Structure 1
Amino acid sequence: MRRIWAFIVMLTSIVLGLVFITQPIVEHTAFSSEFSQGKELVYQLSKRDGGTSINPDSIGDNVSIRLDRAGIKNAHVEVVGSGDSAELRVSFVPKSAVELNEVNRQINATGELSICTSKDYCLTGKEFFDVSNPVSLRYVGGSAYPGFNIKSKIAVSTFLEQLGGEENATAYIWQNYDPDNGIDNYENAFGEKPKDEVKEKVIASIVWQGNYIEEDLRLYATNDIEGNAFTLFTARSFVNAYNNEDYGCNVKYLYTTKIEPTYSSSSLTMIIIALLSIVALIGVGLAVYNRGAGAINFLSVLVIFAAQLLINAYLGFEFAPASIVAIVITLTLAVFNLINTNQKIKEEIKKGRTISKAVVEGNRKSFWAILDSSAVTFIVSLFAFLLGKGMIKTFGGTLLVGSLLTFFVLIIINRWLMFFTANSPLGAIGKGTLGLRVRDKEAPTSKKLVKPLTVDSAKKKRKIGLITYGAIALCSTAILLGTGLTNGVFRNSDEYTSSARLDIMTQSENEVYEDSESCRNFLLDKMKVDEVELSYLDFDYQRVDKKDEYDNDYAITYVSFKLDSEYLKDKKLDTAVNNLRTDLDYEMKTEDKDKDVKVTLGEAKVVNIEHNTSNMFLILGLSLLFSSLYLFARFGISLFLSYLVSGVIGLTGIVAIFSLLMLPFNSTVAFGFLAVVQIMSFILVSIFTKNREILKDRKIVKKASVEERAEIMDSSIRSSLPSVLSASMSVLVSSVLLIAFSASETLLSSILIFAVGSLLIAGLFFAFVPSFYLFFRTHIKFKEINFKRFKRKKKPVQINTNEPHETIIMGLNDFR
């Protein structure tokens, strides 16, 4: 009776937990720019006096590192131009206005720190601050305060002589302070008519008394420059911003604009429906196939699915194409292990055990399969999370959470639910088998799909496998060489395609165009290029109204749009740009005021590391290598060699198919390849855990003959067939639903690789890996090491009978 109540309490707790976590999932889930309106921050980059030219790659890498520290994982970074001047554009989806401001601070922070008084006495960073670590964080209770690390007490004394001893004497921290420009001074920052470009350089104003801690040799800031108290988030962001590596050029914030979602408003709804449909179909499939046990399994799947969404929301992983693919892999991992566990329980029932004992024994025997499959998934996701950037990091983090959740839910929640159900009246379902269909004879489908494996058939399969692998390798090489020499190995999608961007900035009292439509019409009228049709892609118009020092109104307008990069080679476009610059100069000209017109045409280079193809395949290679090493540690060198050879050949073939079909290459392609590595590990784990289990039961792990190993391998393949087929069906159904509901080019390549690659790998591995394993297992022999040889031999005690021997008892000496 107590077990029944324990089951009811556990079941009720799980159901209520799933109901109550729905609201926080909805409230805290952040959506990526594919599904939600985002912001684009635009900055002007300029070369410093005596500095080096602007390098888009180094600037982009620096910005990516800063965004990663700020917790922004799916930002798009673009640098337009190079040399003396350029434009930086960073687009992402901020969770709040506070996060947007903090990201702006992270990107805008550059140049040396200086400390000044209100009388414009200043010490540079090298004279006053610890340049190796200018700012650090101090925690006091639940609060955090940034502290500026001071170089020495001598620097403090020098500054205090000029600051004075007044109670409210305030020190001002400047960044990129220039004493020679005649503008950077206290009056222009805090006077009656402050200048924005000067005030922006002051990052903190700190009352010295009470905030300087002599023991720490630090000057602490309790409020930001706007007077707002620091929170844990803003304090960490402040410290990270001013400890970042310098860009080596000047950065000026220009404006913020909105960016529309990549997909239509209905796409998000359709993808959510697709995910829920996948979960529902998994539940139906489990219930139909395993009835009562399947219903319990479905409850475990719901726990994994809901918990993964909740943890992702709180960890800051956006709901993006990357996380969608990771969620599908997690569900596949769960289905594979649940079916495998049920197979173990069926085998125990066949041995005559009761359902309660069969559940205990079946879960015990399935532990290593759950651990191995979760561990390989963990390894792959760990490399993606540590080495990847942007979407790849989101994919790795989401899958990392999914692998851990799957392991703990299956060995704790699912195990106890099955145990309590088996010991309750519900255990009588299906003639005391908890609804599990237990057949005395082998299923007919198993006989049709898998032919018996014998020593002779293994030799034939091995020969066919060598021919097949050789053919795949030759064809793949030919395809990759052929496409590489003609159109390129990959057809890049829009996010990889090089483009040009035309930027226009005007500052004048004259109003040539007041809105986006009139601006576009002006450009269509003035900028005409023979035989070139300008499409004005990604057209962006911003107007900022300001007042000068005499209270006269003027406007700064920013216009930007993309062009095909091929136009950069067309001299006619250069002529059109020059003509446009001349027209703008004339239109903006006034009698009393100097006009300011800038027209820049340059290459728009996407510089995020996430778009680096070699980086993607580095992660894929390391994932394959280290998952192979894990299997080597668990199952030995024979499986390691079989897995590595088959995996490399199979993945090469998938890359060749991908190249031949000219599917669009984008940042989600890596997810499809990494998902295939997961399927490879699932297949081998299910086969070889069963293989090892039978060898141990028969106590012939090292003594088995070739015939016995072939017979046991055949039995292992047939036993693992249901779990592998279930995982393959899960992949296929998920792929079809996601493609049908999303209609997204971004997900198309990834899902097709996932589906086609998984089916191809499953066929290759089932057909050939067992025969290759048997060959390596019977032909690779290691001489057993005799560790007794390394033991230090004890020298025998030599007794001289002619010498006296003394005992430990006094007076009993024996002289001979």
Structure 2
Amino acid sequence: MKTRSTVIFLLIVVVVGFISYAAINGVNLGKYEITTVKEEMDLGLDLAGGVYVVLEAQTDATGPELRRMMEQTKAIINQRVDGLGVSEPNIVIEGEDRIRVELAGVEDTQKAIDMIGKTAQLQFVEPDGSVVITGEHVREATATFESVNGIRQPVVILELNDNGTDDFAEATGRLLGQPIAIVLDGNAISSPVVSSKITNGQARITGQKDIEEASRLANLIRAGALPVEMKELESSVIGPTLGLESLDKSVFAAMIGIILIFLFMIVFYRIPGLIADIALTIFILIILGVMIGIGVKLTLPGIAGLILSIGMAVDANVVIFERIKEEIRSGKTIRASVDAGFKRALSTVLDANITTLIAGIVLYNFGTGPIKGFGVTLMIGIIASMITAVFITRLMLKLVVTMNITKNTKFYGA
């Protein structure tokens, strides 16, 4: 039993050490290469540099009508940002009438700001470049299903106003078998082929692979038909040099804090403190792995949430170890004290972490911009904290007790 516990304990230490080294320096294993956390982690706007803009709709519309207009405007901005070549932009509707656009890593910031804020231009264009109708002639565009030869297919239904109906009827009569491109801000978003003359002001656009694609096309068309003026409330440009400098300083400060925590735990709790340090290392690796796995962008508030969750993890270990010390002082054996200490501390640890987890959920659901980043890392950290404190620390501490390194209670902080 003692040999088995020793082997398992040493295996855990070796694996954690290897993963930690690979996370910091990277490892090349022939066909397989483990890249560093720094290379894998996506950086947010405040660390990678870029631009963010907050826009407000200038309209008297309210309720569902306003919501629809904001969704249309968001779809237009998404379309424009795609043209900038920005990877993973953050475009969200804040409140009822505002849109926040965060573009990390964008190079031409002024071009981005100008493109985001301009009014959409929707045109239906003939093959020779002549404009048939524009967005002002489109009354409505909806995505739905229709049955063709017994098969349900997504389709976009266009409804035109009176002027648009006459112009479109004339053009579709001339262009049978030819495409009429739907062009938004100079980019063709669809090129349906005319199959018949349309005289009733209702056109059908087929060829979408699913209802999501049809809904996106309908949103873009509606946005061109129902543009809403967007006023720039706030904008900021962050240079990549400043972002990297902030990242370096934050990582340096975090490393100092983590080292001090590791030393504190060893000085005050000896063997349990050393085990807590190993568990905290696992905890940090779990957080970073989850963030990379689900694509969470690392931001300055996110780093703050990460450090706060490390503090919560330490706090959980402190509560557990103090309970163990109390059991040892009452005369119990080290093995019995460890079991009793974890049982007594469990409810306290869960209560503290669950209440903080609720706070993280609230921040994520109701916060905006950087607040969401803080909430995400805090939630991930709290869950990882409970896993490492309740399970990993307990497993490793019981392995050490089974190894019977020493029976001197001073080495357990008592």
Q: How high is the TM-score relative to the length of structure 1?
A: 0.36
Cα shift readout 1:221-263 (whole Å, capped 9, x = no counterpart): 58xxxxxxxxxxx9799679739978743579xxx99643695
In the alignment, the residues of structure 1 paired with residue 241 and residue 123 of structure 2 have an alpha-carbon distance, to the nearest angstrom, of 43
> Which residue pairs with 1:219 in the alignment?
206
Within 5 Å, which residues of 2 pair with 1:162-177?
A: 162=173, 166=177, 169-175=178-184
Counterpart code for 1:332: G
Secondary structure of 2:390's aligned partner: helix
> Which residue pairs with 2:8 in the alignment?
6
In the alignment, the residues of structure 1 paired with residue 11 and residue 170 of structure 2 have an alpha-carbon distance, to the nearest angstrom, of 68
Higher relative contact order (CA 8 A, sep 6+): 2
Report if the CA contact (8 A) 1:163-1:171 is conserved.
Answer: no
> Which residue pairs with 2:220 in the alignment?
242
In the alignment, the residues of structure 2 paired with residue 240 and residue 282 of structure 1 have an alpha-carbon distance, to the nearest angstrom, of 55
Report if the CA contact (8 A) 2:272-2:412 is conserved.
Answer: yes
Q: 2:156 aligns with which of 145, 149, 154?
A: 149
In the alignment, the residues of structure 1 paired with residue 189 and residue 280 of structure 2 have an alpha-carbon distance, to the nearest angstrom, of 50
Question: Runs of 5+ in structure 2 lacking a partner?
Answer: 25-34, 82-87, 146-153, 160-164, 196-203
Aligned-residue offset at 1:268:
3.2
Change (3 A) 1:330 1:259: closer
Counterpart code for 2:182: I
Report if the CA contact (8 A) 2:74-2:99 is conserved.
Answer: no
Change (3 A) 1:117 1:239: closer
Cα shift readout 1:368-415 (whole Å, capped 9, x = no counterpart): 122111110111111111001011111111111111111122222222
In the alignment, the residues of structure 2 paired with residue 208 and residue 391 of structure 1 have an alpha-carbon distance, to the nearest angstrom, of 48
> Which residue pairs with 2:265 in the alignment?
286
Aligned-residue offset at 1:320:
3.0
In the alignment, the residues of structure 2 paired with residue 204 and residue 323 of structure 1 have an alpha-carbon distance, to the nearest angstrom, of 40
Secondary structure of 2:411's aligned partner: coil
Counterpart code for 1:436: Y
Aligned-residue offset at 1:173:
2.2
Aligned-residue offset at 1:297:
0.2
Is 1:334 the counterpart of 2:313 in the alignment? yes
In the alignment, the residues of structure 1 paired with residue 242 and residue 333 of structure 2 have an alpha-carbon distance, to the nearest angstrom, of 54
Cα shift readout 1:551-576 (whole Å, capped 9, x = no counterpart): xxxxxxxxxxxxxxxxxxxxxxxxxx
In the alignment, the residues of structure 1 paired with residue 280 and residue 357 of structure 2 have an alpha-carbon distance, to the nearest angstrom, of 18
> Which residue pairs with 2:190 in the alignment?
204
Change (3 A) 1:240 1:16: farther
In the alignment, the residues of structure 1 paired with residue 111 and residue 191 of structure 2 have an alpha-carbon distance, to the nearest angstrom, of 18
Aligned-residue offset at 1:291:
1.1
The structure with the largest alpha-carbon Rg is: 1
In the alignment, the residues of structure 1 paired with residue 46 and residue 259 of structure 2 have an alpha-carbon distance, to the nearest angstrom, of 25
Within 5 Å, which residues of 2 pair with 1:698-777?
A: none
Report if the CA contact (8 A) 2:320-2:342 is conserved.
Answer: yes
Counterpart code for 1:204: S
In the alignment, the residues of structure 2 paired with residue 326 and residue 11 of structure 1 have an alpha-carbon distance, to the nearest angstrom, of 27
In the alignment, the residues of structure 1 paired with residue 312 and residue 304 of structure 2 have an alpha-carbon distance, to the nearest angstrom, of 12
Is 1:297 the counterpart of 2:276 in the alignment? yes
Report if the CA contact (8 A) 1:31-1:93 is conserved.
Answer: no
> Which residue pairs with 2:200 in the alignment?
none
In the alignment, the residues of structure 1 paired with residue 37 and residue 287 of structure 2 have an alpha-carbon distance, to the nearest angstrom, of 10
Cα shift readout 1:496-553 (whole Å, capped 9, x = no counterpart): xxxxxxxxxxxxxxxxxxxxxxxxxxxxxxxxxxxxxxxxxxxxxxxxxxxxxxxxxx
Q: 1:421 aligns with which of 393, 400, 405?
A: 400
In the alignment, the residues of structure 2 paired with residue 420 and residue 27 of structure 1 have an alpha-carbon distance, to the nearest angstrom, of 35
> Which residue pairs with 1:769 in the alignment?
none
Aligned-residue offset at 1:30:
3.6
> Which residue pairs with 1:84 in the alignment?
none
In the alignment, the residues of structure 1 paired with residue 218 and residue 14 of structure 2 have an alpha-carbon distance, to the nearest angstrom, of 45
Change (3 A) 1:321 1:121: closer
Change (3 A) 1:250 1:409: same
Aligned-residue offset at 1:363:
1.8
Aligned-residue offset at 1:436:
1.3
> Which residue pairs with 2:411 in the alignment?
435
Within 5 Å, which residues of 2 pair with 1:532-681?
A: none
Report if the CA contact (8 A) 2:91-2:99 is conserved.
Answer: no
In the alignment, the residues of structure 2 paired with residue 419 and residue 243 of structure 1 have an alpha-carbon distance, to the nearest angstrom, of 64
Counterpart code for 1:26: K
Report if the CA contact (8 A) 1:121-1:162 is conserved.
Answer: no
In the alignment, the residues of structure 2 paired with residue 30 and residue 237 of structure 1 have an alpha-carbon distance, to the nearest angstrom, of 30
> Which residue pairs with 1:322 in the alignment?
301
Secondary structure of 2:12's aligned partner: helix
Cα shift readout 1:764-795 (whole Å, capped 9, x = no counterpart): xxxxxxxxxxxxxxxxxxxxxxxxxxxxxxxx
Cα shift readout 1:696-723 (whole Å, capped 9, x = no counterpart): xxxxxxxxxxxxxxxxxxxxxxxxxxxx
> Which residue pairs with 1:94 in the alignment?
104
Counterpart code for 1:242: L
Change (3 A) 1:125 1:367: farther
Cα shift readout 1:351-375 (whole Å, capped 9, x = no counterpart): 4433233223322222212211111
> Which residue pairs with 1:747 in the alignment?
none
Report if the CA contact (8 A) 2:328-2:337 is conserved.
Answer: yes
Change (3 A) 1:3 1:90: closer
Aligned-residue offset at 1:33:
4.3
In the alignment, the residues of structure 2 paired with residue 240 and residue 399 of structure 1 have an alpha-carbon distance, to the nearest angstrom, of 38
Change (3 A) 1:295 1:204: same
In the alignment, the residues of structure 1 paired with residue 400 and residue 113 of structure 2 have an alpha-carbon distance, to the nearest angstrom, of 52
Question: Runs of 5+ in structure 1 lacking a partner?
Answer: 78-87, 136-146, 176-196, 210-216, 223-233, 439-816
Aligned-residue offset at 1:218:
6.7
Q: 1:37 aligns with which of 43, 49, 70?
A: 49
Change (3 A) 1:423 1:92: same
Cα shift readout 1:565-606 (whole Å, capped 9, x = no counterpart): xxxxxxxxxxxxxxxxxxxxxxxxxxxxxxxxxxxxxxxxxx
Aligned-residue offset at 1:15:
2.7
Aligned-residue offset at 1:420:
1.5
Report if the CA contact (8 A) 2:250-2:300 is conserved.
Answer: no
Aligned-residue offset at 1:287:
0.6
Report if the CA contact (8 A) 1:304-1:405 is conserved.
Answer: yes
Aligned-residue offset at 1:5:
2.4
In the alignment, the residues of structure 2 paired with residue 291 and residue 244 of structure 1 have an alpha-carbon distance, to the nearest angstrom, of 67
Cα shift readout 1:264-284 (whole Å, capped 9, x = no counterpart): 864432221110010010000
Is 1:277 the counterpart of 2:256 in the alignment? yes
In the alignment, the residues of structure 1 paired with residue 338 and residue 14 of structure 2 have an alpha-carbon distance, to the nearest angstrom, of 22
Higher strand share: 2
In the alignment, the residues of structure 2 paired with residue 388 and residue 342 of structure 1 have an alpha-carbon distance, to the nearest angstrom, of 36
Change (3 A) 1:159 1:354: farther
> Which residue pairs with 1:16 in the alignment?
18
Q: 2:357 aligns with which of 354, 362, 378?
A: 378
Q: How high is the TM-score relative to the length of structure 2?
A: 0.65
Within 5 Å, which residues of 2 pair with 1:347-386?
A: 347-386=326-365
Change (3 A) 1:394 1:362: same
In the alignment, the residues of structure 1 paired with residue 170 and residue 259 of structure 2 have an alpha-carbon distance, to the nearest angstrom, of 69
Within 5 Å, which residues of 2 pair with 1:66-145?
A: 66=74, 72=89, 92-95=102-105, 110=120, 118=127, 125-126=138-139, 129-130=141-142
Secondary structure of 1:353's aligned partner: coil
Aligned-residue offset at 1:335:
1.2
Report if the CA contact (8 A) 1:384-1:393 is conserved.
Answer: yes
> Which residue pairs with 2:378 in the alignment?
399
Secondary structure of 2:368's aligned partner: coil
Report if the CA contact (8 A) 2:283-2:388 is conserved.
Answer: yes
> Which residue pairs with 1:311 in the alignment?
290
Report if the CA contact (8 A) 1:106-1:240 is conserved.
Answer: no
Aligned-residue offset at 1:301:
1.4
Counterpart code for 1:29: M
In the alignment, the residues of structure 1 paired with residue 333 and residue 214 of structure 2 have an alpha-carbon distance, to the nearest angstrom, of 58
Report if the CA contact (8 A) 1:29-1:318 is conserved.
Answer: yes
Counterpart code for 1:311: V
Aligned-residue offset at 1:41:
7.5
